[in-house]
Amino acid sequence: MSAGSERPLGRVYDAAYAGVPNWDIGRPQRPFVRLVEAGVLDGPILDVGCGTGELALFAARHGYDVLGVDLSELAVTQAREKARWRRVPAHFLVWDALRLSAFADAGLRFGSVLDSAMFHVLGDAERDAFVRELTAILESGGLYCVLGDRRENDRDVYGVSVPELRERFPSDRWELAYSEETAFERRWGATPAVFAVLRRR
């Protein structure tokens, strides 16, 4: 079942992945490398907005059972090709991150969810919807790990800030376990970013 084709945004990202997007640096972002190598994640892992799969493939090479999902059919095709040629047992699916609860309905839940620059592009209502969907599929004690461009202005929607994460993820269900200011690397340059780890209660 494919959910990506139901959203015009999927076609927008297909156009980006017809070339090499500036955010696709050919390897995982450094905060996720440290996290995976530290061995603190529980599986299975869901990589939301997985793009061409570098983060999912990296986690799978470290022994995790990983599913990557993305709206872009072209990105998912490229991720599957990488997995096949590198002989890495990661799985990829065209799927809308605002419909994650369908996995829970099918009996599938995750120990960790990784988000490398997906949350930071969502609109205000979409962020609330994503938190609800995420709550449905993440095991108690599981981690949601998010990296995104740092929000520069409280009036903006784009970007990530720690105060917003505290507000958006209710404390009766979530704990902000860790946060840091870092950089989001791009093929050309880097931008100030926020990396945060939230634990599902």
Q: What are the sequence ranges of the domains in the chain?
A: 4-200
pTM exceeds 0.95, yes or no: no
Res 34: pLDDT: 97
The Cβ of residue 41 has, within 10 Å, a number of other Cβ atoms equal to 21
Q: In what order do the strands lie in the sheet with 138-149?
A: 91-94, 66-70, 45-48, 110-116, 138-149, 190-200, 174-185
Structure tokens at 76: 């998912």
- Spatial contact of 109 and 133, defined as CB atoms under 8 Å apart: no
Angle at alpha carbon of residue 147, lines to 185 and 31, rounded to 5° = 65
Residues of the chain whose pLDDT is less than 50? 1-5
The pLDDT of residue 154 is 79
- How many angstroms separate the most distant Cα atoms in the chain? 45
Listed residue (185, 182, 198) closest to 150, CA to CA: 182
Q: What is the pLDDT of residue 124?
A: 94
Dist. CA 105–CA 131, nearest whole Å: 16
- The whole-number pLDDT of residue 2 equals 42
CA 187 remoteness from chain centre: 19
How many other β-carbons are positioned within 10 Å of the β-carbon of residue 134? 27
- Quote the pLDDT of residue 155: 82
**Burial class of residue 57, CB neighbours in 10 A (0-12, 13-18, 19+):** buried
> What pLDDT is recorded for position 8?
62
The answer to whether 109 and 118 are in contact (CB under 8 A) is no
CATH for the stretch 4-200: 3.40.50.150
Instruction: Answer yes or no: are the C-beta atoms of 73 and 96 closer than 8 Å.
Output: no
| pLDDT of amino acid 11 | 67
* Tokens (6 digits) for 131: 């938190």
For residue 46 the two structure tokens come to: 């869901």
pLDDT at 156: 86
pLDDT recorded at residue 146 = 98
148 near 179, Cβ under 8 Å? no
Task: Report the pLDDT value the prediction gives residue 1, as an integer from 0 to 100.
Answer: 38
